[in-house]
Amino acid sequence: MHAAPQPHDMKSDWAIVAIGLLKLVKSASLLVLGIALVHWRHNDLGEVAARWLKDAWLGRAYVDGLLVKLSLMRKETIDEFAIGSFVYSALLLVEGVGLCLRKRWAEFLTVGITASLLPFEFYELHRRVTVSGIAVTALNLAILVYLIFRLYKDRRRQS
């Protein structure tokens, strides 16, 4: 049986809901990506992306390199990315809903999933340092540290 939230808990509840909303936005984005990959799997993804990004000027060298890689993707690889997008979207949906409902199990789930993905993020940063890579890794580290601290503090309070 859970006690009613104390006034000092309201601020941390807001943070949990904000993390949950972030997870839901990421889930929706991956769902859209998966649907797009399935929809355009028989097309040249480089051409499709080029039509969408034709006026992009920011990071043009990066965009051009991405378009070449997309053009060379095999159908099987596209299918694998689509499946991965759907699976990860479902995980993020469960995390996001659980966090928005302020469920303790969702905090533990988020700690486990976030911690398990950090080695891949560090590896990618080791291979190539980018501003977006640093930002994503820093955000995930901050979420992880916050949740671990919160879970530890709640455990001490219950003892």
* Closest-CA residue to 117 (of 90, 77, 88): 88
Q: State which residues of the chain have pLDDT below 50.
A: 1-8
Distance CA 37, CA 51 (A): 15
Position 58 scores a pLDDT of 58
Position 62 scores a pLDDT of 65
* Closest-CA residue to 66 (of 79, 81, 53, 80): 53
Position 4 scores a pLDDT of 47
Position 140 scores a pLDDT of 94
Distance CA 157, CA 159 (A): 6
Position 149 scores a pLDDT of 93
Residue 133 one-letter amino acid: G
Domain locations in the chain as residue ranges: 15-102, 103-159
Position 59 scores a pLDDT of 58
CA atoms within 13 A on the CB side of 34: 16
Q: Are 124 and 45 in contact (CB under 8 A)?
A: no
What is the pTM (predicted TM-score) of this model?
0.77
Position 47 scores a pLDDT of 83
Distance CA 13, CA 138 (A): 21
Position 156 scores a pLDDT of 75
